[in-house]
Structure 1
Amino acid sequence: MKDVRRQRIAISGIFLMVGIMLGSWFARVPQLRIELGLNFAELGMVLLAQTVGVLVAMQLAGHLSNHLDSRAVIRVTSLVLPWFLPLMAVMPNAITAGLGMLTWGVIAGLLDVSMNAQGVEVERRARRPVLNSLHAVWGIGALLGSGGTVLAVRAEWSLSSHFWIVSVLLVVIALFSGRWLLTESPAASPPSKRTAKVGFLSGWTRAVIVLGGLGAAVALCEGAVSSWGGVFLSEQRGAAANIASLGYFAFIVAQTGTRLVGDRLHRRFGAVALVRWSMAMTGAGVLVAVAVPSVWFGLAGLAMAGCGLAVAIPIISSAVGHGTKSNTSLAIARYSTLHNAGVLSGPAIFGWLAQTFGISAALTCCWCRSG
């Protein structure tokens, strides 16, 4: 049990590292756009390149898992990924920035698949759910990264200096965490796995497709609420800019807090019942935000939606990993392809619905789709 606890701390360190990196990055994107001289269209293409890289990585991860276990992939990618922060700060133009983000997306995608596979492996050995707490650690890291960026801006650190300091910190975390990661157990990774050929259609089982579709629907709703919540408060509730900006903060804090107790709830109520209740909580949050014409009720509704959407993705990811008897990384890679399609399409679909039917109706539609 002591070894499992140490291994859980190790993979928690990787989740924390990724959260800090993304929190630092997203908080600095506006300044990066100015320093690189990108217009809004160019910035959009640069950010899209990262998403394309992640989707490419989902396909590469399946083939890579035929030769390397998740521990080996994490040890390499977690040491390489942090250096993209200072690298992006010195890109000379939109083309090189796009290529940098494409490569970043590939490395990040490989790491994402492997660290979730490690989380499933910890669950197997601990014989209890842990993925919710791991995703909570990611959320804490994102809050720390964004908070650190606020302090760096106030201290008037340059973009490059800030990113160098963050990168060094992340590499130190990765080095310590990588020492205690798990090799995949024989049950999860039999010898035949290493010799079996992984084709384009490999791993697309019925369970993966069904769970992937469910994950995509939840991701669509999560992306819509988190991306457009502030716009809803501003346009529909007349919130000032500083109040509207609290929309995402309320959402992510509520989501992270719920994930801290999500594994306990998972053990007590079971996966199916918990997902149903979480979707009901999401619906209640959307209803509160849409039905009550108040800024503060709008914030409360977004927080309730954060609570509701918190546990679904970790539970679905766990089900995918435990549902395969052969290659955990391949199953998670295939599932993540569909999940990330929901992440990518969520804000865009919501924008079309909002333009056609209004933001309030769009929020309701997105919840109905995920529920």
Structure 2
Amino acid sequence: MTESSPSEGVSVSGARGTPDRNPGPARTTPVLRRARTAVFLLFFANALAYANVVPRLPEIRDDIGLSNTALGTAIAAMPVGALVAGLSAGVLGARIGSGRLATLCTFGFALALPLISLASAWWMLAGCLFLMGVLDALMDVAMNAHGLRVQHGYGRSILSSFHALWSIGAVVGGLISTTLAGTGLALGWHLLAMGVLLAVLSVVVWPMLLPGPDEESGPREADTAGDGGPAVPAGRAAMAALPVVTMLGLLLVMSSVVEDTPASWGSALLQDDYRASAVMAGMAYVVFQTMMTIGRLLGDRTIDRYGRVAVARVGGLLIAIPLGLALLADSAVAVIIAFGFAGLGTATLFPAAMQAAGSIPGVRSGDAIAVVSWIARLGFLAGPPLVGLVGDRVNLRTGVSAVVIAGFGILLLASVLRPDARKAPGGTG
């Protein structure tokens, strides 16, 4: 990354290829504080968009007359859109600026969200979700890249707090949607109001972004080794980093299965298999996101004390064991509580992996984040139709057990978050 002029007080260098701990806090400026607020709002808006759709998915399914399998494949159109667009996010962010790209995507959500209420057939719903997937993939990379710029300016870890605001936005959106569904408000008016809110947020955020370009026009050479060794050419460093980037992506595939299941199938599971009311069924997603928020608010401090690998391994166990036991019981409350443990377990995985990807020496952070995010979308692509297919063939309890498998997968893959695993040859790790 490049470094802004001292008068702006916006340093975006100094964190590439470093260990978990950042250097001491830098002096903040009004520019940095405004930019931090802007990134908070971007993460909040991104979560708010889809979270307002999630609790009403059973209603949309029934209105259109879809089976669980058909709904699952329609939901899978969202990660398909993300996969189609995801790898272009780094290039677009470098060209127009990560903050501007994220803000434009927020305005895109404002236009796309109301279209879902107009869907009257499978292909229309799938098309709307495909468009939302495109916007989400571009915005995900862009807002994380801009968040890393702000973090580097602060000189300390704040990325988990941005993801905590994402979780807060998901909780708020889920509560709004669940409440409005309970009152019987028409889906069209609900999503139109959310679109107006997102448009307003995009206008507010635009002038608050960090000025200047995100990084150099291309990847620079990796940092020299701590013993004064030679710098490594950018191309060689990128090739050497590919296995680590792939493993980080696979870790997030597991995490995405965990995150998507309460969103896509939590309400349907509780209504179909546990005979829960629509309001109670919506709590699966809300409780999951609430506990994820708590985990992310405490994430930086917890990781500083115990390390990313230990926290991720405990998280995998928190995901797998409580839900595995709850699915064997006949209690909707037990399932909701287990989803809460899963939210706590997965809380730090995305910010930790994004920070790891953005810290690889010799690789442009936006490109590394884009690749890791693109691989992670495979979990969002495969998860919903797989759960829906098993739900139709057996039952949704069995389908949701994919989360248990993903939890054990996280346990096995957690070591990739160790700083030494991210070293490129000659880098400082």
TM-score by length of 1: 0.81
* 2:276 aligned with 1:241: yes
The equivalent residue for 2:131 is 103
Q: CA deviation at 1:305?
A: 2.2
Q: Secondary structure at 2:96's aligned position in 1? A: coil
The 5-angstrom pairing of residues 173-192 of structure 1 reads 173-183=201-211, 189-192=215-218
- Higher mean C-alpha displacement, 357-366 vs 204-213: 357-366
**Do residues 121 (structure 1) and 149 (structure 2) align?**
yes
Partner residue in 2 for 1:132: 160
- Considering only aligned residues, what root-mean-square deviation do their CA atoms show, in Å? 3.6
Give the distance between the partners of 1:362 and 1:152, measured in 2 at CA: 30
Query: Percent of counterpart pairs with the same letter?
Result: 26
* Cα distance in 1 between the residues matched to 2:410 and 2:390: 15
Equivalent residue for 1:211, pick from 248, 256, 269: 248
* Change in 2 beyond 3 A, CA 1:164/1:44: same
Q: Determine which of 342, 349, 367 is the counterpart of 2:407.
A: 367
Which amino acid in 2 is paired with 1:113? V
Letter in 1 for 2:206: G
Change (3 A) 1:254 1:320: same
- Further displaced range: 173-182 or 217-226: 217-226
1:313 is the counterpart of 2:350: yes
Aligned equivalents of 2:114, 2:320: Cα separation in 1: 41
Q: State the shift of 1:128 in Å.
A: 2.2
Q: Which amino acid aligns with 2:276?
A: A
Q: Quick one: structure 1 residues 320 and 352, their matched pair in 2 at CA, closer, same or farther if it must change by over 3 Å? A: same
Bigger mean CA offset, 288-297 vs 74-83: 288-297
Q: How does 1:44-83 map to 2 (within 5 A)?
A: 44-83=72-111
**Aligned partner letter, 1:241:** A
User: Offset of 1:42 from its aligned partner?
Assistant: 5.5
Residue 378 (structure 2) aligns with: 341
| Cα deviation code 1:195-251 (max 9, x no counterpart) | xxx9xx99972221121122212323444566566677789xx84413565433332
Deviation at 1:114, TM superposition (A): 0.5
Structure 1 gaps of 5+ residues are none
Q: How far 1:5 moved relative to its partner?
A: 2.8
Show CA shifts across 1:127-146 (max 9, x none). 22222222221222122223
Contact 2:79/2:130 (8 A) holds in 1 = yes
CA contact (8 A) 1:23 1:146 kept: yes
Matches for 1:159-308 after TM superposition, within 5 Å:
159-183=187-211, 189-192=215-218, 205-224=242-261, 239-242=274-277, 246-286=283-323, 289=326, 296-308=333-345
When structure 1 is superposed on structure 2, of 294-303 and 355-364 the one drifting more is: 355-364
Q: 1:339 Cα deviation (Å)?
A: 0.7
Q: How many residues align?
A: 361
Please report how far the alpha carbon of residue 19 of structure 1 lies from its aligned counterpart in structure 2 after TM superposition. Answer: 1.6
TM-superposed CA distance for 1:260, in Å, is 1.7
Q: 1:97 to 1:343 in 2, by over 3 A?
A: closer
Greater Cα shift, 261-270 or 7-16: 261-270
Question: Residue type of the partner of 2:409?
Answer: R
Counterpart contact for 1:232–1:359, Cα < 8 Å: no
What is the CA distance between 1:161 and its match in structure 2? 2.5
Answer whether contact 2:255 2:349 (CA < 8 A) is retained.
yes
String of CA shifts for 1:294-348, please: whole Å, max 9, x gaps. Answer: 6655443332222111111211111111225442221111111111112222345
* Residue matched to 1:141: 169
Do the aligned residues in 2 keep the contact of 1:54 with 1:106 (CA within 8 Å)? yes
Letter in 2 for 1:277: V
Which piece of structure 1 moves more, 153-162 or 8-17?
Answer: 153-162
The one-letter code sitting in structure 1 at the alignment partner of 2:357 is V
Between structures 1 and 2, the one with greater helix share: 1
Cα shift readout 1:48-67 (whole Å, capped 9, x = no counterpart): 32221111111222442452
- Structure 2 residue corresponding to 1:39, chosen from 48, 61, 66: 66
Rounded to whole Å, the distance in 2 between the matches of 1:233 and 1:153 is 16
* Aligned residue in 2 for 1:21: 49
Write the distance in 1 (CA, Å) between the matches of 2:403 and 2:104. 40
Question: Which amino acid letter does the alignment assign opposite residue 367 of structure 1?
Answer: G
What is the alpha-carbon distance in structure 1 between the residues aligned to residue 378 and residue 122 of structure 2? 24
Conservation of the 8 A alpha-carbon contact between 2:249 and 2:375: yes
CA distance in 1, matches of 2:120, 2:336: 40
Distance 2:266 2:170 in 1: 18
Secondary structure of 2:340 counterpart:
helix
TM-score scaled by length of structure 2: 0.72
Secondary structure of the corresponding residue to residue 53 of structure 2: helix
Aligned equivalents of 1:365 and 1:98: distance in 2? Answer: 27
8 Å contact kept, 1:70–1:117: yes
What do the CA deviations read for 1:55-105 (whole angstroms, capped 9, x no partner)? Answer: 111122244245232122123222222111223333565444443433332
Q: Distance in 2 between matches of 1:49 and 1:183?
A: 35
TM-aligned CA deviation for residue 184 of structure 1: 6.7
